[in-house]
Copies of this chain bind each other. A is one copy, B any other.
Amino acid sequence: MSEPLFAKIALVGIGLIGSSLARVIRREKLAGELVVSTRRPETLARAAELGLGDRYTADAAEAVADADLVVVSVPVGASGDVAATIGPALKPGAIVTDAGSTKGSVIAQMQPHMPAGVHFIPGHPIAGTEHSGPDAGFAELFAGRWCILTPLAGTDAAALDRLTRFWQRCGSTVETMDPQHHDMVLAIVSHLPHIIAYNIVGTADDLEAVTKSEVIKYSASGFRDFTRLAASDPTMWRDVCLHNREAILEMLARFSEDLSSLQRAIRWGDGDKLFDLFARTRAVRRSIIEAGQEIDAPDFGRLARAERS
């Protein structure tokens, strides 16, 4: 039998990302020993019930002692506290990475607590669903998805290579990127869409002239697509908004500017302008399907699912 990639892996945080990692680590035999740590006793007990690791502890410092790889997957606002807790317990040569959706803020929070000799390599798997918690994870979450690593200046090449192989074994394709560029890219492809989705669902929920039951009943005509993102974990998304503020405000400003222009075209009946925008956006979806990041089935393939059920 081949050696596992890491003798001991510690997962700090066992939500959607952590519990998906636990499952793929087991399936791919990537760890000699897998230790699971999370702060809330109920969540830790649930992880144990699900058999996600070899050992369980509420004490993150105890979890990371002797670990060769530590993956922190907690809401980004909690990164600093976790780093302060685990920093003193990390062994020299350990690789510490995270799965946070913002990178500049996570680096600012965690880096000061990382001892010399520890390889801190921030990361972000571009994968998820609207569900959260240890029950929501599944081993295939990272398959065919990208994982972005944002190594700092002077990062050890061997450590980066080993972490890259880890994510590849989880099914991902790894890219490296500057942390600031990551935060700008994610602001448009992820953070703005979530904020807009939360906002439109809130607007609909507040109407007086249209009842909630009408919004629910007729949601198949467009609205329901937004509700998936707006069902995402509120703590995680609060933290993303607070920790990638500059890039998000920039994207929001551009979005609002464009929306004002579109609104003006509607008010003044500028059909050509509307048609031009509505025609060019179609190509973007085609590209996403061709890139293998979306399935080529109408209505997200919901119909096929409904037929089988």
Contact = CB atoms under 8 A, between A and B. Distances in A.
Interface in A60-103: 101
Contacts of A210: 184-185, 188-189
Interface stretch (A22-30, A50-58, A107-115, A241-249): A241-249
Interface string A144-186: 1110100000000000000000000000000100000100111
A100 B206 CA distance: 26
A45 interface: no
Interface residues of A, number: 114
Taking chain A's interface residues, is the majority helix, strand, or loop, or is none over half, making it mixed?
Answer: helix
Contacts of A136: 298
B284 A227 contact: yes
Contacts of A229: 222, 225
A7 interface: no
A130 B285 contact: yes
B130 A220 contact: no
Contacts of A259: 196, 199, 252, 256
9 contacts: A126-B220, A129-B299, A129-B303, A190-B221, A192-B222, A202-B280, A230-B282, A231-B285, A231-B286
